[in-house]
Amino acid sequence: MATLWNKGTEAAKAVDEFTVCGDRVLDLKLARYDVIGSKAHIAMLESIGLLTPEELKVLTEGLDAILSEIEAGTFILEDDVEDIHSQVELLLTRRLGDVGKKIHSGRSRNDQVLLDIKLFLRDELKQFRDEALKLFDTLQGLSEKYRGVLLPGYTHEQIAMPSSFGLWFGAYAESLVDDMYQLAAAYRVVNRNPLGSAAGYGSSFPLDREMTTQLLCFDSPVYNSVAAQLGRGSSERAVASALGAFALTLNKFATDCCLFMCPNFGFISFPAEFTTGSSIMPHKKNPDVWEIMRGHCNRIMASENEISMLCSNLTQGYHREFQLLKDVLFPVLELMHSCLNMCDSMISRVTVNEHILDSGLYDNMFTVEEVNRRVLSGEPFRDAYRAVGIEVNEGRFTACRQVNHTHIGSIGNLCNDRIAKLMKEASDFIK
């Protein structure tokens, strides 16, 4: 296998296969970013005199041709080439001659990989932002549509107090705001430039790191070269943590949907084509989508810990374990995209039962409303509480189903417009 680091000997095939693992396949996701980063790097090299203007022009055109192949889907990683960085440099050298070998001046694969991953993750975070906003808008729309439809609220999985579909849908919308804050925080971690830190100790070339930072639209460089390499895994862990926040929200929502779909509840339903049946029970409408989503979300939440464990017990500088970060994070990114999109697709087709409270089963959830009415009439709270409790125990309680909740964030005052403003502010950090 052709390697950039080869000095005349080749690794044994077994060693090569063991250490490369699935990296070659995952590297293809980084191909366009490797080219984009290389274009910024050679522009900087020309500015400090390591390339002539003519060489810069030729190399830029060569990289643009490779980028076109990547975007057209015709770019491949050849069988005997170690990684994406080697492939790009090999193609340039093959097509342009020795000038292709000059693109690696002043950088290491360490800062090159770091840069590729940061550029890749930055685009991924923007995509997650858009997907989360779409789901948020759907939830808020349902919250407004069903704002007046009451729904039993539960504590300890026991019937507790009146809630509403407006509150339920709106609650998960606002939870996405908190998740978006974490996504924005991950974006801040990702959006700093490691290029120029080389193998972690800088370079004797007069590299203009501010220039590449501006060309690549980063917020700032990672100034300290050692810090840039110490940060290997920090971007991945920050992203995994943010996705874990979204995963926890979706996990809870999926669990609610599984419960509320059950005929014993019958609060919501979905079209038959969005449920599955049984091989033996013809009546079944199983919530397989929500169950698979729960499982995927648990896997997503576990990824942060796996990344942390991979990066622990290591001294400063590069270690080969870092290569395995892609094995953990990249599949998680795909799972999260799938879950966000499927959740939006499912709830866009939800049918809400607007007659849940026709059943006397839910009469007792209005006891707090009755206690509060008596308190508002002047009765001490503890006396009212005791009296209503006795009526319930003796089977004499009569529910008054009028609910008058007016404070912010309650059944009658959802504050969806304020929540939407918070979401816009949170998502605007990711630009």
User: Could you write out the DSSP letters of every residue in 36-97?
Assistant: HHHHHHHHHHHHTTSS-HHHHHHHHHHHHHHHHHHHHT-----TTB-SHHHHHHHHHHHHH-
* Final residue belonging to a domain, choices 105, 124, 155: 105
pLDDT at 5 > cutoff 50: no
Assigned domain for 78 exists:
yes
Residues 176 and 260 in one domain: yes
Q: How confident is the model at residue 16 (pLDDT cuts 50, 70, 90)?
A: low
Residues 270 and 341 in one domain: yes
Residues 78 and 114 in one domain: no
Within a 10 A sphere around the Cβ of 136, how many other Cβ atoms? 24
Which residues, 6 or more positions from 207, have their beta carbon under 8 angstroms from its beta carbon? 44, 48, 106, 196
Choose between 8 and 266: higher pLDDT.
266
Please indicate, yes or no, whether the overall pTM of this predicted structure exceeds 0.85. yes
Assigned domain for 180 exists:
yes
Q: What pLDDT does residue 275 have?
A: 73
Assigned domain for 19 exists:
yes
What digits encode the pLDDT tens for the residues 266-278?
Answer: 999 998 887 776 5
The torsion of the CA quartet 306, 308, 312, 315, rounded to 10 degrees, works out to: 120
Assigned domain for 329 exists:
yes
Give me the CATH number covering residue 342.
1.20.200.10
Q: What pLDDT does residue 382 have?
A: 96
| 385's tokens | 């509480």
Contact at 8 Å (CB) between 287 and 224? no
Q: How confident is the model at residue 172 (pLDDT cuts 50, 70, 90)?
A: very high
Residues 101 and 114 in one domain: no
Residues 286 and 366 in one domain: no
Within a 10 A sphere around the Cβ of 280, how many other Cβ atoms? 6
Assigned domain for 227 exists:
yes
Residues 141 and 169 in one domain: yes
Q: What pLDDT does residue 373 have?
A: 93
Give me the CATH number covering residue 29.
1.10.275.10
- Whole domain around residue 367: which residue ranges? 360-393
Please compute the mean of the pLDDT values over residues 134-150 and round it to a whole number: 97
Contact at 8 Å (CB) between 317 and 112? no
Residues 101 and 229 in one domain: no
Residues 291 and 259 in one domain: yes
Assigned domain for 152 exists:
no
- How many helices (H) does the chain have, and how many strands (E)? 15, 6
Helix, strand, coil percentages in the chain from 3-state DSSP, rounded to 5: 65, 5, 30
What digits encode the pLDDT tens for the residues 220-259?
Answer: 999 999 999 887 899 999 999 999 999 999 999 999 999 9
Assigned domain for 45 exists:
yes
Assigned domain for 156 exists:
no
Residues 93 and 78 in one domain: yes
What digits encode the pLDDT tens for the residues 321-363?
Answer: 888 899 999 999 999 999 999 999 999 999 999 999 888 899 9
Torsion-angle region of 156 (φ positive above 0: left; ψ -120 to 50: alpha; else: beta): left
Residues 292 and 385 in one domain: no
Mean of the per-residue pLDDT values of the chain: 91
pLDDT at 26 > cutoff 50: yes
Residue 155 main-chain phi, psi, to 5 deg: -130, 145
Please give the Cα distance from 391 to 424 (Å, whole number).
Answer: 48
Separation of CA 15 from chain center: 34
Please compute the mean of the pLDDT values over residues 303-327 and round it to a whole number: 89
What digits encode the pLDDT tens for the residues 364-415?
Answer: 999 999 999 999 999 999 999 999 999 999 999 998 888 889 999 999 999 9
Q: What pLDDT does residue 417 have?
A: 97
> What amino acid occupies position 373?
R
* Final residue belonging to a domain, choices 37, 71, 105: 105
Q: Using DSSP bridges, classify how beta strands 220-221 and 192-193 pair: parallel, antiparallel or unpaired.
A: parallel
Residues 115 and 259 in one domain: yes
What digits encode the pLDDT tens for the residues 188-210?
Answer: 999 999 999 999 999 999 999 99
Residues 176 and 315 in one domain: yes
Q: How confident is the model at residue 21 (pLDDT cuts 50, 70, 90)?
A: low
The tally of domains found in the chain comes to 3
